[in-house]
Chains A and B, each alone.
Chain A
Amino acid sequence: MSLQVSDLRVYYRSLAGDVQALDGATFSIADKEIMGLAGESGCGKSTLGNSLIRLDGRMKYVAGSVTLDGNKLPIWDQKGMNEFRFRDVSVIPQYAMSAMNPTRKIGKMTGELLESRGESYQDIKPELLRRLDLVGLSQDVLNRYPIELSGGMKQRMVMVISTLLNPSLLIADEITSALDVSTQRAVAETLVSFRDHGFVKSMMVITHDLSILYQTADSILVMYAGKLAEKAPTATIIDKPRHPYTKMLISSLPEVGIRYANKKLAGIPGSPPALLNPPAGCRFRARCPLAFEKCVEEPPFVQIAPDHSVACWKVPGSNA
């Protein structure tokens, strides 16, 4: 087991009270696994990703533990995490386009970054050049400024920098959302090749786009309103989902080949609850066609089959 997260709770401070953006997440990622984290905006997926590497000022650690390769990560401790960042946990941020320092040439910036970790740029440079080659960037990008690169190139450059020290866990937050379809595919395939080359041990790919996850991830974790809804291998989530939210979400996605004239898709009525004072019980209750009396109690996130966990009272096996 590479990463184990148990009952992690991270809230946002606000004047009106705590926003319960991540409320009790328990899951694990195995070695060599690419786990996709999917959900709508505001469901807490980025909060989960960020909390594994850096809690910003508004975020408040409430409870839970994170263990990576047997070491407990002190995620509540900004300074204590420094020893793990970049080496053990690394991140490709949501806006990689603006993640690089615009006033430095890329090579110099990479050097400064490595020195801040106590590594020598000269020692690592041969490996850096090899990896640039692998993602299809020429060596002279190191002598250029970020503004001279296109969006897809910047994205790949940030991917190379983030994984230079072979972190155990890589968090990729919405890295394909801002790209064109053809670039999107190249970036997603690069991500998988990083795992195959052993640059990173395991990966958490955060996106709202389930079809990208179908192409890249080994397993998918679906979140809804700060809670985990369902986790299973990719094929199971896409073809045999059990949670009503996952089912409705997947059946609402238009695909190439589906035409309005032949098959009318339906959305999910309503909108997710506010997380400031979320309703007790199942948070999907108000929009769920299957909801019944028991849903006022919170459904546990339980395993119903090997590698398949669901939080829903209506799924047989979760009444235990």
Chain B
Amino acid sequence: MLSLNRVSKFYKVGTFGGKEMAAVRDVSFDVKEGEVVSLIGESGSGKTTIGKMVLKLIEISRGSIVCDGTDVAAIHGAEVKAYYRHVQGVFQDPFSSYNPIFKADRVFGMIRSEFFPGVPNSEWDAKVDAALRSVSLDPGQVLNKYPHQLSGGQLQRLLVARALLLELKILVADEIISMLDASTRIDVLNLLAELKGRGMGILFITHDLSLGNYISEKTVILRRGAVVEMGATDKVFGNPTHPYTKVLISSVPQLHKKWAEVEAEIQARGGDDAGTCLYHRFYRPTELSGDSTEDRPAMIKVEDDHYVGCFELGQGICKV
């Protein structure tokens, strides 16, 4: 449904924009109906940039993003509005997503005036009511309130409800629960899982591996703007192949396993190649001549639905 094909984003940096910095490099993956794809990476890995490109908030430097046959870069004016009927985003900080001067349910009113100007009051109220109930909010508790009167979890669910008023196909959820408390974040996470059950595709952007593991079918791991490993979640987490993925997984604090135990497990499975990624085992550095990434394959398949890539030769974790 949503498909990214060798997407890159460059920013101009330095005096007079003389240099280019790649925030996202050659990223390709698909989000299908009823699928949660989690985009995992540390700060500066380009995960939010990808989300913004999907939402057409920033331009795509190279490559293409296609959603249901529409090329996102090529649409203008009314087509963009039509695109936003199907693709919406929810962001990290629920408190700054709202205008504190207005009541929180104003976000529903804005959707109505933009997209449903002709809908009569009674029908609209029923629609809002249904959307609120589907995110497990009691309309009486949240309507007609100011943002400061609601909790972070409630505000975040209101934003999801707002997106549900449209005929939503893709939801970009950018770190939507990292600011919520432990006791309420799981409810928002379960809500996303329910939406997926209704056929929505969700791009779940997070830095927290355990959240990505809990909810998603597919995992994409990013490092410095490039995909290092992707595939079915159980394969990426069960059999990490890139050294960076191994480092990430062994660094996640777990509740019933100490760090040393997890590391020993991965070492035992990985054998002697813990410092070399499989990408370079298949494509020896000698074959990969020059600095150009154009002629290299972006990803190689290590098993069914499990791919690994590496653009960090000699300058990072991967040692060849």
Contacts and interface: CB of A to CB of B under 8 A. Distances in A.
Interface of A: 40-41, 180-182, 184-185, 188-189, 208-212, 214-215, 238-239, 248-250, 252-260, 264-268, 271
B2 to A, nearest CB: 21
B111 interface: no
A252 B43 contact: no
Given A185-B251, A214-B254, A208 B209 contact: no
A256 B259 contact: no
A172 B66 CA distance: 47
Contact of B211 (A239, A254, A264, A271): A254
Interface stretch (B21-29, B72-80, B180-188): B180-188
B249 interface: yes
B214 A265 contact: yes
Nearest to A214: B255
6 contacts: A214-B255, A254-B211, A255-B210, A260-B189, A266-B186, A271-B151
Given A188-B253, A267-B187, A268-B183, 11 more contacts: A185-B259, A208-B181, A214-B253, A254-B189, A255-B256, A256-B213, A257-B237, A259-B213, A260-B189, A264-B190, A265-B214
Interface in B247-262: 247-249, 251-256, 258-259
A266 B254 CA distance: 18
B64 interface: no
Contacts of A259: 213-214, 233-234
Contacts of A215: 253-254, 258-259
B34 to A, nearest CB: 12
Given A249-B183, A260-B193, A268-B183, A255 B248 contact: no
Nearest to B258: A215
Interface of B: 42-43, 151, 153, 181-187, 189-190, 193, 207-211, 213-215, 233-234, 237, 247-249, 251-256, 258-259
Contacts of B249: 256
Nearest to B154: A271
Contacts of B193: 260, 264
Contacts of A257: 213, 237
Nearest to A287: B183
B52 to A, nearest CB: 20
A40 B213 contact: no
Contact of B251 (A41, A184, A248): A184
A300 B302 CA distance: 58
Contacts of A264: 190, 193
Given A249-B183, A255-B210, A259-B213, A182 B42 contact: yes
Contacts of A184: 251, 253
Nearest to A245: B183
Nearest to A185: B251
A256 B252 contact: yes
B244 to A, nearest CB: 9
B253 A249 contact: no
A185 B253 contact: yes
Nearest to A178: B43
A209 B214 CA distance: 17
A254 B214 contact: yes
A215 B247 CA distance: 16
B187 A253 contact: no
* Shortest 9 CB-CB contacts between residues of A and residues of B: A180-B42, A211-B253, A268-B183, A254-B214, A267-B187, A267-B186, A185-B251, A40-B181, A181-B251
A40 B183 contact: yes
A252 B254 contact: no
Contact of B184 (A238, A255, A268): A268
Given A180-B42, A264-B190, A253 B237 contact: no
B40 to A, nearest CB: 10
Nearest to A269: B187
B184 A260 contact: no
A267 B207 contact: no
B253 A265 contact: no
Contacts of A211: 252-255
A67 to B, nearest CB: 32
A211 B233 CA distance: 21
Contacts of A210: 182, 255
Contact of B183 (A181, A252, A254, A260): A252
Contacts of B215: 260
Contacts of B248: 181-182
A269 to B, nearest CB: 8
